[in-house]
């Protein structure tokens, strides 16, 4: 077996999935105009992907361990490629939303197994270097996504951000079958009951939030879906206590670092995903920028992750995860608050650079810190489950963040014109800052640097471990 083939193919698929999530941000305005979508429908083009990704992420890893990682990986890649073509061919927004949900399901099979295949291919002494390169390439895709999306949307059409996946997928699938050996893990069973209840809880709560403005909080539709979602959430917790192989081991939440790190992470990504959902649209609809210019302007926010996150990882052992997580979330809140104060249709771009840099530096500090807090709180044999819970919470946090900020936007603004859009964008981004502050409060509960962990050596998210954060870091 040539390990370089495994590294190259796993990285190619990871880049494709990460890029696909981020390129959509700068295409949203064109999708809205071409398909005549409402704010609700635009939300679902993003949230359908994130929801299916979130609820199937841990199931994908279990299926790979049981039926074969290469088999499930190629199946997920085929599903993702086919769904990408369906997105590009979508004649209307309903088709696009459905295809995005299938894309998310494919991504949930691809992403955890890409890292599992890499971990199986490399011996322990070579694994950190391979996984570090894998994570670095994925991070570059995250940063480049808005620019690539803007360039493709402006130069060709928004459909091509999905067509680009098709030749890559068709080329990679046969190579994976030829070059990557099959491997399996422990072979645990799928928690089907937990999967159904988690899906029902997330869908019900998000549906109620999304529809609350149009249908009204007192409508049967909104009240019914919110109640159903809450019931499913309670039932999920009860089920996890009695399930033979629970999707989420509730005992992990007895560790303060695990519980606080996950809570801070949910608020972090709710704030970030919700804000970036509107930021790319603000540049185009509120300021009149082209899609490419919007992507380039967002680099002041997104590119800092490549500089600040590695530095934060190195500082982790000196100052601890709690300090970096809390400070990072406060900085993100400050940057968003400043944007809310200055955002107008005519504000010069240079005035927005410092707030975006501050917000980007903050999230780049908080991302590795919250994950480090989670991973350091558990024993070595629990790292896989802990990482799965964190990444699932991250995706669900992003879904709820988009829904909450869109609700605020709908109450105060609209797409009628630049001033109307900015009138909704400013309070929405301010609420994003408030969510980040809530995350900072949660981060203060993370144990200090000298606190005892659950009997394992400390790690940081800068360590290229097989459980590092592998999803889109700064995407809607």
The residues, ordered by sequence, that sit 6+ positions from 210 with a Cβ below 8 Å of its Cβ are 40, 43, 44, 47, 403, 406, 407
Check residue 227 and give its pLDDT: 93
Measured between alpha carbons, how far is 259 from 406 in angstroms, rounded to an integer?
27
Q: What is the pLDDT of residue 341?
A: 94
Instruction: Show the DSSP H helices in 68-191 as ranges.
Output: 69-88, 93-121, 127-155, 160-163, 165-179
Cβ neighbours of residue 344 closer than 8 Å, sequence gap 6 or more: 422
Q: What pLDDT is stored for residue 127 in this prediction?
A: 66
Task: Please calculate the CA angle 243-62-397 and round it to the nearest 5 degrees.
Answer: 80
Spans of the chain, pLDDT less than 70: 1, 127-128, 131-132, 135-136, 139, 185-189, 313, 381, 384, 449-476
The total of other beta-carbon atoms located within 10 Å of residue 186's CB is 8
Rounded distance, CA 135 to CA 143, Å? 13
pLDDT above 70 as % of the chain: 90
Token pair listed for 174 = 């046969």
Instruction: Please give the Cα distance from 186 to 93 (Å, whole number).
Output: 41
| Dihedral sign of CA atoms 162, 166, 167, 172 in order | positive
Cβ contact 7:130 at 8 Å: yes
Percent helix, percent strand, percent coil in the chain, to nearest 5? 80, 0, 20
Q: Please give the Cα distance from 232 to 290 (Å, whole number).
A: 43
| Alpha carbons 23 and 103: distance in angstroms, whole number | 14
Token output for 154: 């402006």
pLDDT digits (tens, 9 = 90+) for 114-162: 877 877 777 777 766 776 677 667 767 777 788 888 889 888 899 999 9
| Cα torsion 300, 353, 364, 31: sign | negative
Tokens standing for residue 6: 């495994």
How many other CB atoms sit within 10 Å of the CB of residue 120?
Answer: 19
pLDDT for residue 139: 67
User: What is the per-residue pLDDT for 439?
Assistant: 94
Q: How many residues does the chain have?
A: 476
The encoded tokens of residue 469 equal: 């954060």
Sequence-ordered list of residues with C-beta below 8 angstroms from that of 22, at least 6 positions apart, any chain: 141, 142, 144, 145, 146, 148, 149, 472, 474, 475
């Amino acid at each position: 077996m040539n390990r370089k083939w495994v590294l190259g193919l796993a990285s190619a698929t990871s880049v494709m999935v990460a890029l696909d999530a981020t390129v959509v941000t700068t295409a949203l305005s064109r999708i809205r105009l071409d398909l005549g979508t409402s704010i609700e429908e635009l939300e679902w083009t993003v949230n359908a992907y994130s929801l299916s990704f979130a609820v199937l992420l841990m199931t994908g890893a279990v299926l790979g361990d049981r039926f074969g990682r290469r088999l499930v990986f190629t199946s997920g890649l085929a599903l993702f490629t086919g769904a990408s073509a369906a997105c590009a061919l979508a004649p209307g927004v309903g088709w696009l939303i459905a295809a995005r949900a299938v894309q998310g399901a494919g991504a949930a099979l691809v992403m955890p197994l890409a890292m599992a295949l890499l971990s199986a291919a490399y011996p322990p002494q070579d694994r950190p270097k391979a996984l570090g390169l894998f994570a670095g390439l994925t991070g570059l895709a995250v940063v480049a996504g808005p620019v690539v999306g803007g360039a493709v949307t402006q130069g060709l059409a928004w459909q091509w951000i999905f067509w680009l996946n098709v030749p890559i997928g068709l080329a990679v699938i046969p190579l994976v079958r030829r070059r990557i050996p099959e491997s399996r893990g422990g072979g645990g069973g799928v928690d089907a009951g937990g999967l159904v209840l988690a899906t029902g809880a997330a869908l019900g709560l998000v549906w109620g939030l999304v529809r609350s403005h149009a249908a009204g909080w007192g409508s049967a539709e909104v009240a019914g879906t919110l109640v159903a979602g809450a019931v499913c959430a309670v039932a999920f917790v009860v089920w996890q206590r009695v399930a033979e192989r629970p999707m989420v081991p509730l005992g992990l939440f007895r560790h303060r670092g695990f519980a606080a790190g996950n809570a801070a992470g949910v608020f972090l990504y709710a704030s970030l995903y919700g804000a970036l959902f509107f930021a790319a649209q603000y540049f185009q609809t509120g300021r009149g920028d082209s899609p490419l210019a919007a992507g380039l302007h967002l680099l002041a926010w997104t590119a800092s992750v490549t500089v600040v996150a590695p530095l934060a990882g190195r500082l982790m052992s000196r100052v601890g995860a709690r300090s970096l997580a809390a400070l990072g979330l406060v900085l993100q809140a400050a940057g968003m608050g400043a944007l809310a104060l200055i955002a107008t249709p005519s504000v010069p771009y240079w005035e927005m650079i410092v707030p975006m840099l501050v917000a980007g530096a903050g999230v780049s500090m908080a991302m590795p810190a919250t994950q480090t807090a989670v991973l350091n709180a558990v024993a070595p044999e629990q790292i896989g489950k802990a990482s799965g819970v964190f990444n699932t919470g991250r995706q669900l946090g992003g879904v709820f963040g988009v829904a909450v900020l869109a609700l605020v936007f709908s109450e105060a603004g609209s797409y009628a014109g630049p001033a109307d859009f900015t009138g909704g964008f400013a309070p929405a981004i301010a609420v994003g800052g408030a969510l980040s502050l809530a995350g900072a409060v949660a981060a203060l509960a993370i144990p200090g640097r000298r606190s005892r962990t659950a009997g394992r050596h400390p790690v940081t998210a800068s360590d290229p471990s097989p459980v590092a954060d592998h999803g889109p870091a700064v995407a809607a």
